[in-house]
Structure 1
């Protein structure tokens, strides 16, 4: 399982927006994303007109070990 952090989405996002953010961050196809769960969700309200959710997610893919090697230097992708 991988932990992605600092995934930023608008308040009005959908589940498909969240899935798209995960697959885009990891550079995988939608079919390679097996499951995800929200570890932490917080708000970024520093700009009152532009409030966002900031997610930390536990993600399971069919390519976990390959992604860990590929994203070794990315501080936003870790093992959980």
Structure 2
């Protein structure tokens, strides 16, 4: 069975492996609670570019956390 603490540790590791810009976007969005427009102003890019960066980061994280996703799917069956 998955433990929340284990997932949190693995998520932290996976975030640490992201490119610096993707880490920054995630931090500003989830920790600082800035919206995409505000993040764009900080980074000097458009709101749509911030959305692309965030989306890429999420895809990378999903790829690195596939084992948890598979285990979670197994729990639902």
Instruction: Give the TM-score normalised by the residue count of structure 1.
Output: 0.26
Larger RCO (alpha carbons 8 Å, 6+ apart): 1
Give the structure with the larger strand fraction: 1
Instruction: Give the TM-score normalised by the residue count of structure 2.
Output: 0.27
Give the structure with the larger helix fraction: 2
Larger Rg: 2
